[in-house]
Chains A and B, each alone.
Chain A
């Protein structure tokens, strides 16, 4: 599904990713772990197509398509979803209106008819249950005045609405208490299938108790330096990152 080869990326002449390789197949859950400043969030943003980052070398293939020149909206229409570490607050646009526009623009790009009000509402009701989010929150301006937990739940709600093939969860656990973490994780797990894949970017092992990864990768200084199964995460939790540094 996703093949990243020798990816180099920089922001304002600072090199952040320095030759990263990663392959994600259908049905898999990958966790990307690593110390602060190792390039985890950059990787998430580069896959989603954020224009502040320059890809200077290498390529990202998604379903045998080179993402190179595609804008963020085109990548989303191909089935890539980024759950933001810091979801943006947008006063004056309701989440409902936001999702309606998004769902219908994606449908339009595939030559499908837009959903009518009734069908959209039905879809929304169904997905709301999944993340236990209240209607009144969705009628309000996007993330405006939301608590940390509400913001993250809203991200997973949007993910459920758009039903992506590849979901990238960027530090989704940050700012969540244990109950919110469970709700968010349950939502992610419920959306999992053999047809889609998830990349979880995280600092801590804690989230991986709930969203269990098939593969764990350690990202350091812009490269993946070690890969393993879920036990690697437990080992990192115990020993920190320094031992990997000395190994390299």
Chain B
């Protein structure tokens, strides 16, 4: 594998010894993460598609931006936002809430480094997913966000990632939530790149005891290839809620890995994808129940039109110690055209004996009986389909507790569903 030699260059250029060590660790397992591609990317030929198009090992330099991105900022619906361009955090273009520490890793104090060193590349999938491996070695600085204990933010904080100057860009961040803190983020990627590009993003999240964490993401790429890996490590009594919307993009791969490492943890994973044309959206999720009395709940729903491809793979692990686990998973799909496809696979591995687990997936078409029923009351076919598709998405929307995010997601979905109704 030639890429290994090329990757070593990044290590040789590294001055910081910690960083060098981290990257060397990844190299050691790169053969393994590469070989896992075959199974883990069975229906998602991401590497094959991009390796010839792009140099996957770019040495991007930060470009001092002359722009204010006022158009983009105008559309941000929250008071506070973090803006990153090509994987570089732009504090001068961001509006940071008080009492939260948001910094580049390279700018952390020694004390802060001690904290983040315990998280950095500890909980991610850099040793099992080839794209995370590459991100770990080639990313520039790492954005760090840390919340003090008892910190509670009412409004969500937006994370705006702009892809602009490079055809390959790598985003990397860590979020540390101290005890009893509560926060919500809404992450979006905005593609200003001319033509095709590849972006990768790896996020590590550490949730301390009794913290509550909400993460919303809306993915609407143009011709981009996107790899996204979110890795969450939860301590006792903590709660995480993930809401992922995926609408387009050449290939979008999402890894959502949650480790419920302690007792009484909650994790909710909700996703909705509505894709068209030749888009491929792949959601790979994994929840690892390590200790007792935790609950995970997962529901992904998707609509496939055109020649699009959906992929869902949901892993649930229940370790021997994790008695009294509740783990639920469901994936429902509607296929709107003869050429669209979905591959869905639940994967449960249970070692404990006192657990409650369920999983189920469905693939179906529009219900013609329901369409006729609506039409027989004077509603056009187009509007009938529209009503039924939005009804299909409502089950996911209803899970959002925050009113502002609920209405934001509702209108994003509504706009997207209108594109499915041209026939």
Contacts of A103 in B (CB 8 A): 378
Do residues A158 and B395 form an inter-chain contact, with CB atoms below 8 A?
no
Do residues B378 and A92 form an inter-chain contact, with CB atoms below 8 A?
no
Please encode chain A, from 7 to 50, with 1 for each CB lying within 8 Å of some chain B CB and 0 for all others.
00000000000000000000000000000000000000000111
A82–B376 alpha-carbon span in the complex (Å): 7
Do residues A92 and B377 form an inter-chain contact, with CB atoms below 8 A?
no
CB distance from A17 to the nearest CB of B (A): 18
Decide if B113 is an interface residue (CB 8 Å cutoff).
Answer: no
Residues in B363-400 with C-beta less than 8 Å from chain A: 367-370, 372-381, 383-384, 387-388, 390-392, 394-395
If over half of B's interface residues share one DSSP class (helix, strand or loop), that class is named, otherwise mixed; here it is helix
* Of B373, B381, B387, B392, the contact of A71 (CB 8 Å cutoff): B381
Residues in A65-89 with C-beta less than 8 Å from chain B: 71-73, 75-77, 81-82, 84, 87-88
Known: A48-B376, A158-B377. A105 touches B383 (CB 8 A): yes
* Of B368, B374, B380, B395, the contact of A92 (CB 8 Å cutoff): B395
A99–B374 alpha-carbon span in the complex (Å): 9
Do residues A76 and B373 form an inter-chain contact, with CB atoms below 8 A?
no
Do residues B387 and A76 form an inter-chain contact, with CB atoms below 8 A?
no
CB distance from A74 to the nearest CB of B (A): 8
Contacts of B372 in A (CB 8 A): 50-51, 72, 88
Chain B residue, CB-CB nearest to A103: B378
Known: A84-B373, A90-B373. A106 touches B391 (CB 8 A): no
* Of A88, A91, A162, the contact of B378 (CB 8 Å cutoff): A162
A82–B387 alpha-carbon span in the complex (Å): 20
Contacts of B394 in A (CB 8 A): 92
Known: A50-B372, A84-B373, A90-B370. A73 touches B391 (CB 8 A): no
A48–B367 alpha-carbon span in the complex (Å): 18
- Give how many B residues have a beta carbon under 8 Å from the other chain's beta carbons: 23
Do residues B375 and A88 form an inter-chain contact, with CB atoms below 8 A?
no
Known: A71-B375, A72-B375. A90 touches B381 (CB 8 A): no
Decide if A102 is an interface residue (CB 8 Å cutoff).
Answer: yes
Decide if A93 is an interface residue (CB 8 Å cutoff).
Answer: yes
Known: A71-B381, A73-B381. A92 touches B390 (CB 8 A): yes
Residues in A185-217 with C-beta less than 8 Å from chain B: none
Contacts of A72 in B (CB 8 A): 372, 375-376
Chain B residue, CB-CB nearest to A78: B378
Known: A92-B391, A93-B387, A98-B387. A162 touches B373 (CB 8 A): no
Do residues A77 and B378 form an inter-chain contact, with CB atoms below 8 A?
yes
CB distance from B26 to the nearest CB of A (A): 45
Please encode chain A, from 51 to 69, with 1 for each CB lying within 8 Å of some chain B CB and 0 for all others.
1100000000000000000
Contacts of A162 in B (CB 8 A): 377-378
Contacts of A141 in B (CB 8 A): 391
Do residues A105 and B380 form an inter-chain contact, with CB atoms below 8 A?
yes
Decide if A139 is an interface residue (CB 8 Å cutoff).
Answer: no
CB distance from B391 to the nearest CB of A (A): 3
Do residues A76 and B378 form an inter-chain contact, with CB atoms below 8 A?
yes
Do residues B391 and A90 form an inter-chain contact, with CB atoms below 8 A?
yes
* Of B375, B381, B383, B395, the contact of A76 (CB 8 Å cutoff): B375
Do residues B388 and A102 form an inter-chain contact, with CB atoms below 8 A?
no
Decide if A109 is an interface residue (CB 8 Å cutoff).
Answer: yes
Contacts of A81 in B (CB 8 A): 376-377
A75–B391 alpha-carbon span in the complex (Å): 25
Residues in A93-118 with C-beta less than 8 Å from chain B: 93, 97-99, 101-103, 105-106, 109
Residues in A101-151 with C-beta less than 8 Å from chain B: 101-103, 105-106, 109, 141
A141–B374 alpha-carbon span in the complex (Å): 13
Q: A88-B372, A92-B391 are in contact. List 20 more A-B contacts (CB 8 A).
A: A50-B372, A51-B372, A73-B375, A73-B381, A73-B384, A76-B375, A76-B378, A77-B378, A81-B376, A90-B370, A90-B391, A91-B395, A92-B388, A93-B387, A98-B387, A99-B377, A102-B377, A102-B378, A162-B377, A162-B378
- What are the 3 closest A-B residue pairs judged by CB atoms, nearest first? A92-B391, A76-B378, A102-B377
- 11 A-B pairs with C-beta separation under 8 A: A49-B375, A71-B381, A72-B376, A73-B377, A73-B378, A81-B376, A88-B370, A93-B391, A97-B387, A101-B387, A109-B378
